[in-house]
Amino acid sequence: MNNLKFLLQSAQMISLKNLLFIACLVIPGALSAQTAEMDMFIQEMATQHGFDPTYVTNILQQTKLKKSILKVMNRSSGKGKGTPWYQYQRNFLTELRIDQGVEFWRTHAATLQRAERDYGVPAEIILGIMGVETSYGRNMGTFRVVDALFTLAFHYQRRADYFRSELKEFLILAREQRFDPLEPVGSYAGAMGLGQFMPSSYRDYVVDFNHDGHRNIWDAEDAIGSVANYLKNYAKGGAGWQIEKPALQAAKVRSGTVDSLLALRFNLTSIKQLKDMGLQLATDRYDAEPAIVVELETEQGTFYWAGLNNFYMLTRYNNSNRYAMAVYQLAQRIKNRYETE
């Protein structure tokens, strides 16, 4: 790491085209490739996005490699189904988190009502996401965003391209929003604020819902509007949130067809097509609707659902059926308690 700091400091005094040459002399091993990648990143930020290369070099010089992040990422990328749903569920569907959601609803009732009116996303769904993501702002992460993105962009090859793109988006975002990129704190993956937006989603979907001239995902009002805006307008695959439509339909699976149905993963297919493949529903009402197959392991055995467009939209926030189900069930329990108290 000392060699890397030397190289970054040197970049302020020499032309960028010589940076790789020095890297090969000083650290002719694995760091040479990483230095070349950083060199290309600096040049891209300068030529494509108008950044001063000295400024970008200085930011990278002040970042820190977080080995704890790499340990978490390597562990989470391991093969296998991971934590069973019934254990995963216990982490989020707690009495405390439900009470916190009700309290947050009472405090921000007018803002949630306005978000529901403007974007057509139910208040409880917004609360479900914020509850699962950060316990309504109580746990928004402890890593500097720039450290997380730097670590994953240049030291985590499995998804380096994605995180390098997010680091680029983060620096552009900092310039647009006029904040110091060394200051924001977030998750180990670089997500920020009450709704845990990645930089690209921040730029695309965060809104100034309190009309103060800033898009601030750490502000409750802006976060509420931004989560609703994301669910309504995210366009990759789904149709955006449809308030008049259900999210789930209980289902069964015909013997011998489970593997082919699950192989579809998060590819939306009409329920009629899923039925032809072996999915069994008690109604024909939603046959024309797009859906995914949801399989979750409970203590009573494995259960199946047809996850319609709205459920699919929750998986676009986090690519996991367990996550989407936790959000959905937490949302329903918060709503029930809010309306009965």
Q: Which two tokens stand for residue 280?
A: 């069994």
With H, G, I as helix, E, B as strand and everything else as coil, classify residue 233: helix
Q: Which two tokens stand for residue 93?
A: 């569907």
**Catalytic choice (124, 133, 166, 221):** 133
Question: For residues 259 and 281, is the Cβ–Cβ distance under 8 A?
Answer: no
- Measured distance CA(323)–CA(89) in Å, rounded: 9
Residue by residue, DSSP assigns 110-145 as HHHHHHHHHH---HHHHHHHHHHHHTTTT---SEEH
Give the closest residue to 46 by CA, choosing from 66, 25, 16.
16
Handedness of CA 311, 312, 313, 318 (dihedral sign): positive
Give yes or no: 133 in active site.
Answer: yes
Kindly list the catalytic residues.
133
